[in-house]
Amino acid sequence: MATDTLPPSDFEPDEGAAPPAEQPEKPLHVPPEIDVRALRAFLDGEYAEVRDLVRANLAEYASILTDAETMSTADFRERVKDVVVEMAKTGQTGMGFPTEYGGGGDIGASLAAFETLAYGDLSVLVKVGVQFGLFGGAILQLGTKPHHDAYLAKLITGETMGCFAMTETGHGSNVQALGTVATYDPEAQEFVVQTTREDAWKDYIGNAAVHAELAVVFAQLEVAGEGWGVHAFVVPIRDEGRVCDGVTIEDDGLKMGLNGVDNGRIRFDGVRIPRTALLNRFADVREDGTYVSDIENANRRFFTMLGTLVQGRVCVGGGGLNAAKVALAIAIRYGLQRRQFEATTEGQEDLLLDYGQHQRRLFPLLARTYALDFAQEIVAGQCHDVFSGVMTGEAADDKVRRELESRAAGTKALATWHATRTIQECREACGGAGYLSVNRFAALKADTDVFTTFEGDNTVLLQLVAKGLLTDYSSDFEDLDQLGMVRFVTSLAVETVIEKTNAHKLLERVRDLLPGGDQWDQEAGVLDSDYQLAMLRFREEHTLAGVARRLKRGMDNKMNPGEVFSRVQDHVIHAARAHVERLVLEAFVEKVRGLEDSPNKVALGLLCDLHALSVIEEDRAWFMEHGRLTTVRSKEISRRINSLCRRVRPLARDLVEAFGIPEEMLRAPELIGPPAS
């Protein structure tokens, strides 16, 4: 991406290399003058006003960061609820609901508001996600007009609190095997909800322990002894604070973090609800017990239902990413204040951020944060387009919807893993100061750790990504469970799998993009974004084809499909991750290329190069094993990363200032310095 290069004299020669000829003088790189306000507007995008509203609300309720450390669990839960209800009055939490019920009618605005809320206390974020995203979203997306009329207006204001009761003690990712059952009684025209065994308690349910009056309960539907799979029902669990008859609620107690959210366990014992309590957008039960649905296939019906809830994954990915931004802002500003040892400056110790290793530990993470931010922008835009159509009754094309589900799953996985890694590295980079609660790392670490798990375990989500790639999001996508996918893929010739996934085209593009054909590794510059993309495209193509070949080999050897999948599962995950990382880099490259020439474009170009080379360096063993990276080129990439870090160093403060994190959310000016003028 960068247009200039550093001469070889900037580094020591490789062992065994011939001594360089006379070298030109090292060019002086003048740091670009970043326009922070313009860069912030660029990052905020079309929803800058929405994000500013949330920032203002965060600043107003900044005391909640201290409340989290000083209040009892019970008091803090009430405080979090009060803040959520107060924020709801500003409209920020209802932006994704139809205007006729008091919402904003804009899915994209809702996603932007949620992401920005992650700059503050994350118990508030998750409480908002449970109330408006999960509970409210389920009623909006799975229900029909009678449900909307009955519930949306009051849940948007927080007058009616609810919870999303899907996960059970014994089943989380495997929702199709839930043990809660709703049996239809045609004489009473009611469903009878029953927890059938001990591991079928609804568990870890946010809002359940104290505040929820209603629950959207996912249960196996049975009519006249016939099972119709998992459906969603609105079930009252409290009446004016009293737990309803037949309902048992237990408190999950203290957690690693997010203790402002009242997670609980729910058991149902013969709880009766009216027939109309079934959220019936995709299926219904008539008065006489006749089951009706426009989607005949049970698996397709199930996955269509779950697909409407993909906004949760988009939100969690964005929330985790913005929590990582907070950690980076604190660590980088601390590194510009704290001095340690005398390395280059006579008379005083040097700033932490002037040390090469300190730059190495923080700046690639900063670059990856920007990369994931642009990838998140794409998936949020796709989500807005798909669900805006849902709100207006215009169903999205099946393949478009499946591609959104896959991209949302992959982006969420990479973003939340990145958040966990970044927050830990930033804590360590702040030394003892990072261990103080005032610097927020205790809360950031504890509160975001579960992001890698909820709204889908990340490893399971990457399997979903791989499934879509291997089947090319086929029309039978929903019919294919793990074993079905193995049988589907291995029923085709490997060449057909590669053809269906367009993987062969990736390799052709790799060879066409750069000069020299098969010699592009030797001839292309490492700061050429086409080279960087070609490397990631080759890895994606090769790993995906490798998975297909391994699956087919196992089945040709008459192995059990489950064992075949288990043996190649690590390759499946690697292929999915390679695919998503390629999408992330493409998002970054396209975003930078779309900018007019300016100092901001230069700065983002540096970050883009740093991100791309860091990704290649992290997996260089694979690239070397597969003949795409020589030892000389590998060493050059590492040297380039170091030089890019040095060039990012003068820009670091501006790059984190552009995130627009309210100063009140950073809390400790004596440790991280005053706000920028």
Q: Could you tell me if residue 282 is inside a domain?
A: yes
Q: Is residue 595 part of a domain?
A: no
Predicted TM-score (pTM) of this structure: 0.90
Shared domain check, 187 and 279: yes
Instruction: Verify that 174 and 153 share a domain, yes or no.
Output: no
Residue identified by tokens 């190649």 is 568
Task: For residues 169 and 248, state if they share a domain.
Answer: yes
| 169/167 Cα distance (integer angstroms) | 7
Confidence label for 297 from pLDDT (cuts 50, 70 and 90): confident
The DSSP output letter for 9 is G
Please tell me the total count of domains within the chain: 2
Give the residue, 241 or 307, on which the prediction is more confident: 241
Helical H segments across 392-453, by residue range = 398-429, 441-448
178 and 276, same domain (yes or no): yes
Q: How many CB atoms lie within 10 A of CB 496?
A: 12
pLDDT attached to residue 586: 97
pLDDT of 93-104, one tens digit each? 999 999 999 999
What is the mean pLDDT of the segment spanning 658-671?
88
Using 50, 70 and 90 to split pLDDT, how confident is the model at 343? Answer: low
Residue 459 resides in a domain: no
Q: Can you point out the beta strands (E) in 94-173?
A: 162-165
Question: Would the pLDDT of 389 be above 70?
Answer: no
Whether residue 151 is contained in a domain is answered as yes
In this structure, the answer to whether residues 190 and 278 fall within a common structural domain is yes
pLDDT in tens, 510-521: 555 443 444 445
Beta-ladder partners of 185: 190
Using CA atoms, how far apart are residues 96 and 310, in angstroms rounded to an integer?
14
Same domain, 233 and 152: no
Give yes or no for residue 611 having a pLDDT over 50: yes
Are 190 and 229 in the same domain?
Answer: yes
pLDDT in tens, 31-82: 899 999 999 999 999 999 999 999 999 999 999 999 999 999 999 999 999 9
**Shared-domain flag, residues 259 and 242:** yes
- pLDDT of residue 594 exceeding 50: yes
Q: What is the mean pLDDT of residues 619-643?
A: 94
Q: Examine the fold and report which residue of 157, 177, 207 is the final residue of a domain before the chain moves on.
A: 157
Distance between CA atoms of residues 509 and 591, nearest Å = 20
- Cα–Cα distance, 677 to 674 (Å, whole number): 9
φ/ψ bin of 472: left (φ > 0), alpha (ψ from -120 to 50), beta (otherwise): left
Residues 180, 93, single domain; the answer is: no
By percentage, how much of the chain surpasses pLDDT 90?
69
- Does residue 102 fall inside a structural domain? yes
Question: Could you count the other beta carbons within 10 Å of the beta carbon of residue 95?
Answer: 23
Domain end position, chosen among 277, 298, 319: 298
DSSP secondary structure letters along 26-61? PPP-PPP---HHHHHHHHHGGGHHHHHHHHHHHHHT
The owner of tokens 């209800």 is 85
pLDDT (0 to 100) of residue 638: 96
E runs forming strands in 132-225: 162-165, 180-185, 190-195, 202-205, 214-223
Residue written as token pair 């960087």: 532
Predicted confidence band of residue 7 (pLDDT cuts 50, 70, 90)? very low
pLDDT at 524: 64
Q: Clarify whether residues 139 and 169 are in a common domain.
A: no
Asked whether residue 184 falls in the same domain as residue 72, the answer is no
Among the ranges given (274-288, 485-499, 599-613), the one the predictor scored with the smallest mean pLDDT: 485-499
pLDDT at 285 over 80: yes
338 versus 571: the higher-pLDDT residue is 571
- How many CB atoms lie under 10 A from the CB of residue 28? 5
Which residue pairs from 177-182 have beta carbons closer than 8 angstroms and sit at least 24 positions apart in sequence? 178/218, 178/219, 178/220, 178/230, 179/220, 180/217, 180/218, 180/219, 180/220, 180/268, 181/219, 181/220, 181/222, 182/217, 182/219, 182/220, 182/221, 182/222, 182/231, 182/233, 182/273, 182/278
Q: Residue 222: inside a domain, yes or no? A: yes
pLDDT at 490: 61
Mean pLDDT of the chain: 87
Is 322 domain-assigned? Answer: no
pLDDT score for 381: 95
**Residue 26 confidence (pLDDT) above 50:** no
pLDDT at 419: 98
Percent helix, strand and coil across the chain, each to the nearest 5: 60, 10, 30
The answer to whether residues 441 and 330 touch, using CB atoms and an 8 Å cutoff, is yes
pLDDT band at residue 488 under the 50/70/90 scheme: low
Cα distances (Å, whole numbers) of residue 356 to 4, 589, 607, 639: 21, 26, 16, 12
Give the domain CATH number at 54: 1.10.540.10
User: 458-474, pLDDT tens digit by residue?
Assistant: 998 998 898 888 776 65
Provide the β-strand partners of residue 243. Answer: 238
Given a cut of 90, is residue 249 above it in pLDDT? yes
Which pLDDT belongs to residue 2? 52
Quick one: pLDDT at residue 388?
84
Task: Report the pLDDT averaged over residues 445-468.
Answer: 91
Indicate whether 153 belongs to any domain: yes
Q: CATH code at 209?
A: 2.40.110.10
Are 192 and 272 in a shared domain?
yes
Domain hosting residue 107, numbered range: 38-157
- 438 vs 599: which has the higher pLDDT: 599
Does pLDDT of 409 surpass 90? yes
Residues 6+ apart with CB under 8 A from 315: 111, 114, 115, 129, 133, 455
Tokens of 95: 């932006």
Here the tokens at position 10 are 């900037």
What single DSSP character describes residue 668? Answer: -
Domain boundary among 236, 270, 298: 298
Q: How much is the average pLDDT of 241-257?
A: 96
Counting beta carbons within 10 angstroms of the beta carbon of residue 248, is it exposed (0 to 12), middle (13 to 18) or buried (19 or more)?
Answer: middle
